[in-house]
Structure 1
């Protein structure tokens, strides 16, 4: 497998690429790559360049661009995940797996039952979260990095989500409205998905979301953990969207 790296576009000056910092150290020290080896370099535009390494030292790597093409792994659907804040490593797991699945934007959302409600404390985690997203994007073949928005309260998140074509909020008490049913024959380009924290959304929060045009849906008869619900719902949404897209080609 060819290793992939997102780097600062300013380090790409065709036909050469100059890699510095942690990425250069990873290439030399961790991967022990040698001149003549090839990597794929991405600038977050969707374009990927195949680069043959020419010079490697401790803090700097030089390479020559030998081919380039547009990435084909990015989903046509823009899915924004408004994830209720989670404790421990659960939120990091959602970021990692959500990036692999194809989510375009993550918004940490502070809800009534959130254990962590301090936006300042959450902001201190942003650098680590961004690194998790980047590593997952490189590993999974993404052509663009998902966006990580600042943490915000649920009311602000619902306002922010009004730019989406549809807003979807799974809730365990919405048994008569399964997610798959509302996704039949849809061709929306931007969906907003709201997932609650541990303990889920309160009835009051669900009513507020409904007043903001959210569709309240069920993920089935079993109660899912918050982090499981995020990935289950996202996977179903992408599957239904891509199946519909193929059916109308």
Structure 2
């Protein structure tokens, strides 16, 4: 499999591609690639460009486009993950694996039981989070980089997600009859939002507010899952149910 790089669209001027400094450094000094080898360049439009390297040196890393096609791993349904902020490693793991599973938008959510209550405290982490998302998108064959919105309180997240075709909130106190499987049946959707709570789950007033806003409270069954397990289990189940793994 060819190495993949998301690069600015301005770097792609058919038939030539010139890699920006960070990607060029990786090709030249980390991967030690040579002219004649193939890479895949992505411009975040959903297209991928097969590029044969023609120059790899300190002056520039560039190549010629030999083929182009839509990125085959990009889902047709947009899954928006509203994830309560967790401890650093757990949240970063969700960003990485969620990207691999096809999440289109990540929204860090400040909740009553979240480990961080001040959105401004998370600003310094955004660049690292973007880097994790980008690497996971390149590795998993995505054609679009998932969006990363600023952290926001749950009330703002409920308002921000109002335009989604369907919105789900797994909650350990939801009726067992309101299963995730049932919630994923029905009319086709183009966007679906999932709200995942923090360690300790959503507080009852938060679940009530979500339900009042039109979010479906769903049960994940009799077992209590860790927040990071619930996030990925729901993402994987959702993408499978919506036929995004076919």
Q: TM-score, normalised by structure 2?
A: 0.97
| Shift >3 Å, 4+ stretches | none
Whether the aligned pair in 2 keeps the contact of 1:34 and 1:53 (CA below 8 Å) is yes
1:119 corresponds to 2:108: no
Structure 1: gaps spanning 5 or more residues: none
Q: Show the 5 A alignment for 1:141-180.
A: 141-174=141-174, 175-180=176-181
1:197 corresponds to 2:198: yes
**CA-atom RMSD in angstroms:** 1.3
**Deviations 1:9-29 (Å, cap 9, x if unpaired)?**
111111101112111111011
Deviation (angstroms), 1:72: 2.1
User: 1:138 matched to which residue of 2?
Assistant: 138
Q: 1:42 to 1:207 in 2, by over 3 A?
A: same
Q: 1 CA distance for matches of 2:122 and 2:185?
A: 37
Q: 1 CA distance for matches of 2:67 and 2:147?
A: 27
Deviation (angstroms), 1:177: 1.0
SS in structure 2 of the partner of residue 5 of structure 1: strand
Whether the aligned pair in 2 keeps the contact of 1:20 and 1:59 (CA below 8 Å) is no
**Deviations 1:74-115 (Å, cap 9, x if unpaired)?**
111111000000112111000000000000000000000001
Q: 1 CA distance for matches of 2:189 and 2:22?
A: 39
SS in structure 1 of the partner of residue 18 of structure 2: strand
1:81 corresponds to 2:81: yes
SS in structure 2 of the partner of residue 199 of structure 1: coil
1:12 corresponds to 2:16: no
Q: TM-score, normalised by structure 1?
A: 0.95
1:68 corresponds to 2:62: no
SS in structure 2 of the partner of residue 114 of structure 1: coil
Q: 1:232 to 1:143 in 2, by over 3 A?
A: same
User: 1:182 matched to which residue of 2?
Assistant: 183
Deviation (angstroms), 1:215: 0.3
Deviation (angstroms), 1:182: 1.7
Aligned length: 245
SS in structure 1 of the partner of residue 23 of structure 2: helix
Whether the aligned pair in 2 keeps the contact of 1:21 and 1:59 (CA below 8 Å) is no
**Deviations 1:105-163 (Å, cap 9, x if unpaired)?**
00000000001112112111010100100000000000110000000000000000101
Q: Which moved more, 1:115-124 or 1:204-213?
A: 115-124
Structure 2: gaps spanning 5 or more residues: none
